[in-house]
């Protein structure tokens, strides 16, 4: 008999049919009632063991964490909390689980910090079950969004010789022996001897290659892992994270903002429609967590309310210059509540971004036209000579969730900016070729996938929304 998923059994509204279900025991009460979960949904299926005819050995082997295969009949449930249950006719313990050693007992609800240490097992909790089903749904919705709009999914390289963001936060990829690498006459490492015959690193962004694709397909997107060796030990930074980067020929900055806004609203709507149970569970979890906080630190909206609010309201759009003015005129600035100083030209700190989003506008904000000094070389220069056609989207509770821009399509301006920023033009000939051969205005952005998952699930630490986080001094599992 083929296995039926627990989700399917719970969704059907009939009973009286025979099934085979398989899963892991979440609880076992009175030697009779098993709560079985196979990960297909949040809810457990109640399996009722025929106590009178049950083998003693079998009962001893059923414990939290053990895996079972159950044959039985789906019947209407007598008990509260579920419509149907399975009356077991035969139960096979596929794998026992020693409860002296198993760390996931219901009795002592483990903390998120502790679960990070046992990330190989945390998928089996309600919270992480919900988080990773939502993560999956968001990934699927992202592909669907772009596919439905005719974008081509482009796989950009993971090993690369270029520093797309020019920020120098790269992990080197090499097969040279690091205790005794081949050297040039001047003592520097001779990367000609390295695997790729040059110095290479893990990509920080697929954007530059995506731009090459956009110059033929008009609209492309990437969705892949990116790596940053920035030593930021914060609840918002990972050394390995996933990024979605659409790149669209003929789009200007306004088109870019419209696309980003529509995109974010689309994937949130998808999760609300397809992962309601998971999100309701996560909303309750967040509400419980909020209760631990002092009144004035609690958020006004619950998780679902917040997501619906984002769907139903346009994002605020302000220029960087306006944003700085708002900060300078804020009570927080006047009362010296900011740790970092505010003046035109600063790279806004997360306290500034959060003030704008959470205190001033109380909704997602798109900040545009940043000073060129704090942005990457490829952004299109505005006529004022001071700013570039950049846009960052800031989300409540998260801060920057999207970074993007219109690109500099004018060869001369781009070359000049690269020179100013000491970016080697010879090595980047392939990038500059797009400006030589049929250049067009174009724009794109990058959405940090984990920051999006944080936003939708209401989790507060980025380590809890990627299965196995990579952060400074940590690469377990």
The minimum distance between CB 65 and ligand 4AD, in angstroms, equals 32
The smaller minimum CB distance to ligand 4AD, of residues 263 and 281, is found at: 263
Kindly tell me which residue out of 404, 441, 458, 469 binds ligand 4AD, with binding defined by CB under 6 A.
404
Candidates 315, 451, 454, 458; binder of ligand 4AD (CB under 6 A) is 451
Q: Which is nearer to ligand 4AD, 95 or 235 (CB)?
A: 235
The Cα 93–Cα 34 span in angstroms is 12
Pair type for strands 18-29 and 67-76 = antiparallel
Beta carbon nearer to Mg ion, 364 or 403: 403
Distance CA 238, CA 240 (A): 5
**Residue 223 or 241: which CB sits closer to ligand 4AD?**
241
* Near ligand 4AD in 363-392, by CB under 6 A: none
Choose from ligand 4AD, Mg ion, none: what does 227 bind? Cβ within 5-8 Å by kind. none
Q: Which is nearer to ligand 4AD, 104 or 238 (CB)?
A: 238
Look up residue 271 and give its two tokens: 């999760």
285 binds ligand 4AD (CB under 6 A): no
- Binding partner of residue 243 among ligand 4AD, Mg ion, none, CB cut-off 5 to 8 Å per kind: ligand 4AD
Binding partner at 263 among Mg ion, ligand 4AD, none, C-beta below 5 to 8 Å by kind: none
403 binds Mg ion (CB under 5 A): yes
Residues 296-332 as b/e (b if ≥16 CB within 10 A, e otherwise) read eeebeebbbebbeebeeeebbebebbebbebbeebee
**Residue 314 in tokens:** 């346009």
Does 207 bind ligand 4AD (CB under 6 A)? Our answer is yes
403 is a contact residue toward ligand 4AD (CB under 6 A): yes
Give CA 302 to chain center in angstroms. Answer: 20
Nearer to Mg ion, 306 or 375 (CB): 375
Which residues lie closer than 8 Å to 473 by C-beta, 6 or more apart? none
**4: enclosing H helix or E strand:** none
Residue 446 binding target from ligand 4AD, Mg ion, none, CB below 5 to 8 Å by type: ligand 4AD
DSSP symbol at 92: E
The dihedral built from the CA positions of residue 421, 426, 428 and 431, taken in this order, carries a sign that is positive
Q: Which residues contact 52 (CB under 8 A, 6 or more apart)?
A: none
- Contact status, residue 219 vs residue 247, Cβ threshold 8 Å: yes
Contact status: 241 vs ligand 4AD (CB under 6 A): yes
Q: Does 402 bind ligand 4AD (CB under 6 A)?
A: yes
Strand partners, 245: 222
Which residues are near ligand 4AD by CB under 6 A?
A: 164-165, 205, 207, 228, 230, 237-238, 241, 243, 245, 400-405, 444-446, 448, 450-451
Which residues are near Mg ion by CB under 5 A?
A: 403
């Amino acid at each position: 008999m083929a296995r039926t998923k627990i989700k399917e059994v719970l969704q059907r509204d009939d009973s009286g049919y025979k099934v085979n279900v398989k899963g892991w025991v979440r609880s076992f009460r009175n030697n009779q009632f098993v709560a079985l979960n196979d990960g297909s949904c949040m809810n457990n299926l109640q399996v009722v063991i025929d106590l009178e005819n049950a083998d003693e050995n079998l009962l001893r082997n059923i414990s939290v964490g053990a895996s079972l295969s159950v044959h039985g009949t789906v019947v209407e449930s007598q008990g509260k909390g579920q419509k149907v249950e399975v009356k077991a006719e035969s139960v096979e313990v596929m794998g026992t689980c020693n409860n002296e050693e198993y760390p996931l007992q219901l009795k002592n609800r483990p903390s998120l910090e502790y679960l990070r240490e046992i990330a190989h097992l945390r998928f089996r909790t309600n919270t992480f079950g919900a988080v990773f089903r939502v993560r999956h749904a968001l990934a699927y919705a992202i592909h669907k969004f772009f596919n439905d709009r005719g974008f081509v999914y482009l796989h950009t390289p993971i090993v690369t010789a270029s520093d797309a963001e020019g920020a120098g936060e790269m992990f080197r990829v090499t097969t040279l022996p690091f205790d005794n690498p081949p050297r040039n006459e001047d003592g520097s490492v001779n990367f000609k001897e390295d695997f790729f015959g040059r110095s290479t690193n893990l990509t920080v962004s697929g954007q530059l290659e995506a731009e090459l694709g956009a110059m033929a397909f008009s609209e492309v997107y990437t969705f892949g892992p990116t790596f940053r060796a920035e030593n930021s030990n914060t609840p918002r930074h990972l050394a390995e994270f996933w990024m979605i980067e659409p790149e669209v020929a003929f789009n200007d900055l306004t088109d870019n903002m419209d696309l980003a806004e529509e995109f974010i609203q689309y994937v949130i709507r998808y999760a609300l429609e397809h992962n309601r149970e998971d999100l309701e569970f996560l909303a309750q979890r967040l509400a419980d967590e909020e209760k631990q906080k002092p009144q004035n630190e609690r958020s006004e909206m619950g998780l679902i309310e917040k997501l619906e609010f984002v769907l139903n309201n346009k994002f605020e759009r302000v220029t960087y210059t306006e944003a700085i003015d708002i900060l300078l005129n804020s009570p927080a600035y006047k009362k010296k509540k900011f740790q970092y100083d505010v003046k035109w030209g600063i790279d806004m700190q997360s306290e500034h971004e959060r003030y704008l989003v959470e205190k001033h506008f109380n909704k997602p904000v798109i900040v545009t036209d940043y000073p060129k000094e704090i942005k990457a070389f490829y952004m299109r220069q505005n006529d004022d000579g001071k700013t570039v056609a950049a846009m960052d989207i800031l989300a409540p509770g998260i801060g920057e969730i999207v970074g993007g821009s219109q690109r500099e399509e004018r060869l001369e301006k781009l070359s000049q900016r690269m020179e100013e920023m000491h970016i080697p033009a010879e090595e980047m000939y392939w990038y500059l070729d797009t400006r030589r051969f049929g250049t067009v205005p174009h724009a794109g952005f990058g959405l940090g996938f984990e920051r999006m998952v944080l936003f939708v699930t209401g989790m507060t630490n980025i380590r809890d929304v990627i299965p196995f986080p990579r952060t400074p001094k940590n690469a377990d599992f």
